[in-house]
Amino acid sequence: MGHTYVVAEEDVEGRRREGDTALEKPTLGAHTGSQLLEQRVIRYAPGRSLPRGEPGRDELLYVVSGAGTLELDGEPFELEAGSGAYVRAAEAYVVENPGPDDLIVVSVMVPVDESYRPPREVVVRFADRPELRADAKRTFRYLVNQDAGCADATQFVGLVEPCRAPDHSHSYDEVGYIVAGEGFAHIGGESMPLRPGSCFHLPPEQVHCIENSGPGVMRILGVFHPSGDPASRAYEDDPQLLPAS
């Protein structure tokens, strides 16, 4: 099967276990050519979900919209839009959604490479993280990363003003989700439209650029492995920002 770089969440069929509030959409994974990272969009209806968890992989969660409670091994943690959550391998959790709206979460499963497991933050709020600048048109904030006790992967939110960045690549493997804004993913000679709910995979060393065609700011959730700096480049063409087309 060929590699699929961009998937629209709305085009993916959801699945729900009997008695569960969670409608799960497998957006990126081995079936799309992403062998290392697996991304799912989960829509929690009002109520209490069935327990979930992964025995061999960590799970990084991001709340797109809604609010509720993540109960991890019996301890409650409040969830709000824009927050990230860090669940470690073999931990069980449930999600309580008071309603009336769905609680929409982007889940990314990541490999566990480090044997040492330092203390961690379970939930990280976007508002509590400092804004860092990648270039004149892009800023980002770390959510779950080594500062939160996650040594293997990095979860961040990028804010991109209208522009087209130069073509570049990264040494890490990355999956992303468009939270807000519209534009294009230029990958492998193709230009694929992006809008809220678009999911994308950027393999290591894959030359690409994400364009925000405006008029507003594009908000991107990214998760990559191994951990590092989302502003780093393995390759960059001409380091000048181009006007959005």
pLDDT (0 to 100) of residue 221: 98
How many domains are there within the chain? 2
Which residues touch 64 (CB under 8 Å, ≥6 apart)? Answer: 41, 81, 104, 105, 106, 177, 179, 221
Written as one letter, the residue type at 222 is G
Q: Is the pLDDT of residue 71 over 70?
A: yes
CA–CA gap between residue 80 and residue 72 (Å, rounded): 16
Domain range for 53 is 11-112
CA–CA gap between residue 134 and residue 138 (Å, rounded): 5
> Which of 69, 85, 112 marks a domain boundary?
112
Are 108 and 202 within one domain?
no
Are 79 and 139 within one domain?
no
What φ, ψ does residue 176 adopt, rounded to 5°? -140, 170
pLDDT (tens digit per residue) in 94-139: 999 999 999 999 999 999 987 778 899 999 999 999 999 988 888 9
Beta-sheet pairing, 38-44 with 22-28: antiparallel
In a domain, 123, yes or no: no
Does the reported pTM lie above 0.85? yes
pLDDT (0 to 100) of residue 176: 97
Written as one letter, the residue type at 232 is S
In a domain, 242, yes or no: no
Are 84 and 133 within one domain?
no
Six-digit token string for 213: 């065609």
Which residues touch 35 (CB under 8 Å, ≥6 apart)? Answer: none
Q: 171 pLDDT band (50/70/90 cuts)?
A: confident
Across 91-100, 164-173, 201-210, least confident range:
164-173
pLDDT (0 to 100) of residue 188: 82
> Which of 112, 143, 169 marks a domain boundary?
112
Are 147 and 199 within one domain?
yes
